[in-house]
Amino acid sequence: MSTDPQHRLARPLQALARLLDYPDATLQQHVDELAGILAATNELSEAEREAIVAFVTGLGAMDIYDAQSRYVETFDRGRKVSLYVFEHVYGESRDRGPAMIELKQAYSEHGLETDTRELPDFLPVLLEFCAQIPEESARTWLAETTHVLQRVSVRLAERDNGYASVFTVLLRLIGADPAPENLTDMAGKEKRDDTPAAIDQVWAEAPVTFGPGESHTNDGATRQEPAEFSDKMAAKNRL
Protein backbone atom coordinates (compact mmCIF):
# COMPACT_ATOMS: atom_id res chain seq x y z
CA MET A 1 0.00 0.00 0.00
CA SER A 2 1.49 3.32 -1.05
CA THR A 3 1.14 6.59 0.78
CA ASP A 4 -1.16 9.36 -0.41
CA PRO A 5 0.98 12.16 -1.89
CA GLN A 6 -1.50 14.66 -0.44
CA HIS A 7 -1.07 13.22 3.06
CA ARG A 8 1.06 15.93 4.69
CA LEU A 9 1.87 13.81 7.72
CA ALA A 10 2.89 10.69 5.82
CA ARG A 11 6.65 11.20 5.52
CA PRO A 12 7.13 12.64 9.03
CA LEU A 13 5.13 9.77 10.53
CA GLN A 14 7.22 7.22 8.65
CA ALA A 15 10.41 8.95 9.80
CA LEU A 16 9.19 8.92 13.41
CA ALA A 17 8.18 5.28 13.12
CA ARG A 18 11.68 4.40 11.98
CA LEU A 19 13.31 6.35 14.79
CA LEU A 20 11.14 4.63 17.41
CA ASP A 21 11.97 1.18 16.11
CA TYR A 22 15.01 -0.79 17.24
CA PRO A 23 18.06 0.97 15.75
CA ASP A 24 20.20 -0.80 13.19
CA ALA A 25 22.86 -0.01 10.62
CA THR A 26 20.27 0.80 7.96
CA LEU A 27 18.73 3.44 10.19
CA GLN A 28 22.13 5.01 10.76
CA GLN A 29 22.71 5.20 7.01
CA HIS A 30 19.58 7.35 6.59
CA VAL A 31 19.86 9.76 9.51
CA ASP A 32 20.50 12.78 7.28
CA GLU A 33 17.31 12.07 5.33
CA LEU A 34 15.29 11.52 8.51
CA ALA A 35 16.66 14.68 10.11
CA GLY A 36 15.79 16.67 7.00
CA ILE A 37 12.21 15.40 6.94
CA LEU A 38 11.61 16.22 10.59
CA ALA A 39 13.45 19.57 10.52
CA ALA A 40 10.99 20.68 7.84
CA THR A 41 8.06 20.23 10.24
CA ASN A 42 6.45 23.67 10.39
CA GLU A 43 4.83 23.11 13.78
CA LEU A 44 8.17 22.99 15.61
CA SER A 45 9.82 25.86 17.42
CA GLU A 46 13.45 26.56 16.57
CA ALA A 47 14.58 24.92 19.81
CA GLU A 48 12.47 21.83 19.10
CA ARG A 49 13.83 21.64 15.56
CA GLU A 50 17.40 21.84 16.84
CA ALA A 51 16.67 19.16 19.44
CA ILE A 52 15.32 16.60 16.97
CA VAL A 53 18.14 17.23 14.48
CA ALA A 54 20.73 16.86 17.23
CA PHE A 55 19.12 13.63 18.42
CA VAL A 56 18.91 12.08 14.95
CA THR A 57 22.42 13.04 13.89
CA GLY A 58 23.73 11.88 17.26
CA LEU A 59 22.02 8.54 16.73
CA GLY A 60 23.79 8.20 13.41
CA ALA A 61 27.18 8.91 14.98
CA MET A 62 26.80 6.44 17.86
CA ASP A 63 28.33 3.00 17.91
CA ILE A 64 25.44 0.77 16.84
CA TYR A 65 25.72 -1.41 19.93
CA ASP A 66 25.59 1.66 22.16
CA ALA A 67 22.51 2.89 20.27
CA GLN A 68 20.81 -0.45 20.68
CA SER A 69 21.71 -0.62 24.36
CA ARG A 70 20.28 2.86 24.95
CA TYR A 71 17.06 1.86 23.18
CA VAL A 72 16.64 -1.21 25.38
CA GLU A 73 17.50 0.74 28.53
CA THR A 74 14.95 3.38 27.58
CA PHE A 75 11.95 1.35 26.48
CA ASP A 76 12.33 -2.20 27.76
CA ARG A 77 13.19 -1.74 31.44
CA GLY A 78 9.78 -0.55 32.64
CA ARG A 79 6.24 0.17 31.52
CA LYS A 80 5.94 3.92 32.08
CA VAL A 81 7.52 4.74 28.70
CA SER A 82 6.51 1.55 26.91
CA LEU A 83 6.08 1.84 23.14
CA TYR A 84 3.12 -0.54 23.32
CA VAL A 85 0.11 1.78 23.40
CA PHE A 86 -2.30 -0.67 25.03
CA GLU A 87 0.20 -1.27 27.83
CA HIS A 88 -0.75 2.21 29.06
CA VAL A 89 -4.48 1.74 28.46
CA TYR A 90 -5.12 -1.77 29.74
CA GLY A 91 -2.08 -2.76 31.75
CA GLU A 92 -2.61 -6.32 33.00
CA SER A 93 -6.29 -6.40 32.02
CA ARG A 94 -7.62 -9.23 29.88
CA ASP A 95 -9.35 -6.54 27.81
CA ARG A 96 -6.12 -6.02 25.91
CA GLY A 97 -6.63 -9.17 23.80
CA PRO A 98 -9.83 -8.17 22.01
CA ALA A 99 -8.38 -4.68 21.50
CA MET A 100 -5.38 -6.23 19.75
CA ILE A 101 -7.65 -8.22 17.49
CA GLU A 102 -9.73 -5.15 16.65
CA LEU A 103 -6.64 -3.11 15.84
CA LYS A 104 -5.13 -5.81 13.66
CA GLN A 105 -8.42 -6.12 11.76
CA ALA A 106 -8.40 -2.37 11.16
CA TYR A 107 -4.90 -2.64 9.72
CA SER A 108 -5.94 -5.49 7.48
CA GLU A 109 -9.02 -3.64 6.22
CA HIS A 110 -6.74 -0.83 5.07
CA GLY A 111 -4.31 -3.20 3.38
CA LEU A 112 -1.55 -3.16 5.99
CA GLU A 113 -0.25 -6.59 6.91
CA THR A 114 1.81 -6.43 10.09
CA ASP A 115 4.89 -8.42 10.97
CA THR A 116 3.66 -11.38 13.00
CA ARG A 117 6.65 -10.94 15.32
CA GLU A 118 5.41 -7.55 16.48
CA LEU A 119 2.22 -6.69 18.36
CA PRO A 120 -0.16 -4.35 16.50
CA ASP A 121 -0.15 -1.73 19.29
CA PHE A 122 3.62 -1.18 18.93
CA LEU A 123 3.82 2.56 18.28
CA PRO A 124 6.04 2.38 15.16
CA VAL A 125 3.49 0.00 13.60
CA LEU A 126 0.63 2.36 14.44
CA LEU A 127 2.53 5.32 13.00
CA GLU A 128 3.26 3.42 9.78
CA PHE A 129 -0.44 2.58 9.53
CA CYS A 130 -1.40 6.23 10.05
CA ALA A 131 1.03 7.25 7.30
CA GLN A 132 -0.85 5.05 4.83
CA ILE A 133 -4.45 6.04 5.46
CA PRO A 134 -6.11 9.38 4.61
CA GLU A 135 -4.74 12.25 6.67
CA GLU A 136 -8.05 13.03 8.36
CA SER A 137 -8.38 9.42 9.50
CA ALA A 138 -4.76 9.40 10.65
CA ARG A 139 -5.35 12.46 12.80
CA THR A 140 -8.39 10.81 14.36
CA TRP A 141 -6.45 7.66 15.23
CA LEU A 142 -3.54 9.61 16.66
CA ALA A 143 -5.84 11.92 18.64
CA GLU A 144 -7.11 8.86 20.51
CA THR A 145 -3.57 8.10 21.66
CA THR A 146 -2.67 11.65 22.66
CA HIS A 147 -2.99 11.02 26.39
CA VAL A 148 -0.56 8.10 26.11
CA LEU A 149 1.93 9.98 23.95
CA GLN A 150 1.94 12.96 26.31
CA ARG A 151 2.65 10.80 29.35
CA VAL A 152 5.55 9.07 27.62
CA SER A 153 6.83 12.43 26.37
CA VAL A 154 6.97 14.11 29.78
CA ARG A 155 8.49 11.04 31.42
CA LEU A 156 11.28 10.89 28.86
CA ALA A 157 11.87 14.62 29.25
CA GLU A 158 12.02 14.22 33.03
CA ARG A 159 14.71 11.57 32.49
CA ASP A 160 16.58 13.91 30.14
CA ASN A 161 16.32 11.23 27.46
CA GLY A 162 16.86 12.28 23.84
CA TYR A 163 13.92 10.17 22.66
CA ALA A 164 11.70 12.87 24.20
CA SER A 165 12.42 14.99 21.11
CA VAL A 166 10.84 12.32 18.90
CA PHE A 167 7.61 12.49 20.92
CA THR A 168 7.72 16.29 20.82
CA VAL A 169 7.66 16.21 17.03
CA LEU A 170 4.87 13.64 16.96
CA LEU A 171 2.68 15.60 19.36
CA ARG A 172 3.32 18.88 17.55
CA LEU A 173 2.29 17.23 14.29
CA ILE A 174 -1.12 16.37 15.71
CA GLY A 175 -1.56 19.72 17.42
CA ALA A 176 -1.02 18.52 20.98
CA ASP A 177 1.11 19.97 23.77
CA PRO A 178 4.21 17.79 24.37
CA ALA A 179 4.49 18.97 27.97
CA PRO A 180 1.17 19.78 29.67
CA GLU A 181 1.89 21.35 33.05
CA ASN A 182 -0.16 18.81 35.04
CA LEU A 183 1.63 15.87 33.42
CA THR A 184 5.04 17.49 33.80
CA ASP A 185 4.32 17.84 37.51
CA MET A 186 3.23 14.20 37.62
CA ALA A 187 6.42 13.01 35.95
CA GLY A 188 8.51 14.95 38.43
CA LYS A 189 6.82 13.34 41.42
CA GLU A 190 6.23 9.73 40.41
CA LYS A 191 8.66 6.92 41.11
CA ARG A 192 10.55 5.52 38.15
CA ASP A 193 9.95 1.89 37.28
CA ASP A 194 13.16 1.27 35.34
CA THR A 195 15.66 1.31 38.19
CA PRO A 196 17.26 -1.99 39.29
CA ALA A 197 15.37 -1.83 42.59
CA ALA A 198 12.03 -1.21 40.87
CA ILE A 199 12.60 -4.03 38.39
CA ASP A 200 13.58 -6.44 41.19
CA GLN A 201 10.40 -5.53 43.06
CA VAL A 202 8.22 -6.23 40.02
CA TRP A 203 9.77 -9.67 39.58
CA ALA A 204 9.45 -10.41 43.29
CA GLU A 205 5.76 -9.48 43.35
CA ALA A 206 4.70 -11.02 40.04
CA PRO A 207 2.92 -14.39 40.37
CA VAL A 208 4.32 -17.19 38.24
CA THR A 209 1.29 -18.47 36.35
CA PHE A 210 0.82 -19.90 32.92
CA GLY A 211 -2.41 -20.52 31.12
CA PRO A 212 -5.10 -19.06 28.85
CA GLY A 213 -5.18 -15.31 28.63
CA GLU A 214 -1.45 -14.71 28.95
CA SER A 215 1.32 -13.76 26.58
CA HIS A 216 5.10 -13.53 26.88
CA THR A 217 7.01 -10.38 26.10
CA ASN A 218 10.44 -10.18 24.54
CA ASP A 219 12.01 -9.65 27.95
CA GLY A 220 10.53 -12.88 29.29
CA ALA A 221 7.81 -11.29 31.41
CA THR A 222 4.33 -12.77 31.37
CA ARG A 223 1.47 -10.37 30.73
CA GLN A 224 -2.27 -10.81 30.61
CA GLU A 225 -3.59 -11.15 27.13
CA PRO A 226 -5.35 -8.34 26.02
CA ALA A 227 -10.09 -5.49 24.36
CA GLU A 228 -11.76 -2.80 22.69
CA PHE A 229 -9.72 0.01 21.26
CA SER A 230 -12.51 2.56 20.99
CA ASP A 231 -14.13 1.84 24.35
CA LYS A 232 -10.99 2.07 26.41
CA MET A 233 -9.55 4.99 24.51
CA ALA A 234 -12.80 6.81 25.20
CA ALA A 235 -12.06 6.32 28.88
CA LYS A 236 -8.67 8.01 28.59
CA ASN A 237 -9.60 10.82 30.96
CA ARG A 238 -9.79 8.30 33.78
CA LEU A 239 -6.14 7.30 33.30
What percent of the chain stands above pLDDT 70?
77
Q: Please count the other Cβ atoms lying within 10 Å of the Cβ belonging to residue 229.
A: 23
On the question of pLDDT at 203 being above 60, the answer is no
Please name every residue paired with 216 in a beta bridge, in sequence order, or none if there are none.
222
Say if 49 falls within a structural domain. yes
Query: Is a pLDDT exceeding 90 seen at residue 144?
Result: yes
Q: Per-residue confidence at 141, pLDDT binned at 50, 70, 90?
A: very high
Task: Decide if 238 is inside a domain.
Answer: no
Predicted pLDDT at 232: 41
Average pLDDT, the chain: 83
Residue 106 lies in a domain: yes
Residue range 92-136, pLDDT digits in tens: 788 888 988 999 999 988 888 776 678 999 999 999 999 999 999
pLDDT category, 50, cuts 50, 70, 90?
very high
Residue 15 lies in a domain: yes
Name the phi and psi angles at 86, rounded to 5. -70, -15
User: Is residue 237 situated within a structural domain?
Assistant: no
Is residue 118, in this structure, part of any structural domain at all? yes
Give the pLDDT confidence score for residue 6 in this predicted structure. Answer: 63
Is residue 34 domain-resident?
A: yes
- Contact yes or no for 20/127 (Cβ under 8 A): yes
- For residue range 54-84, what is the model confidence (pLDDT) as tens digits? 999 999 999 999 999 999 999 998 899 999 9
What is the pLDDT, as a whole number, of residue 3?
A: 52
> The dihedral of CA 104, 118, 143, 39: what is its sign?
negative
* Max Cα-Cα span within the chain: 52
> Has residue 230 got a pLDDT over 80?
no
Total structural domains within the chain: 1
pLDDT in tens, 148-201: 999 999 999 999 999 999 999 999 999 999 999 999 899 888 987 776 666 655
172 is in which domain, residue-wise? Answer: 10-232
User: Quick check: is 2 in a domain?
Assistant: no
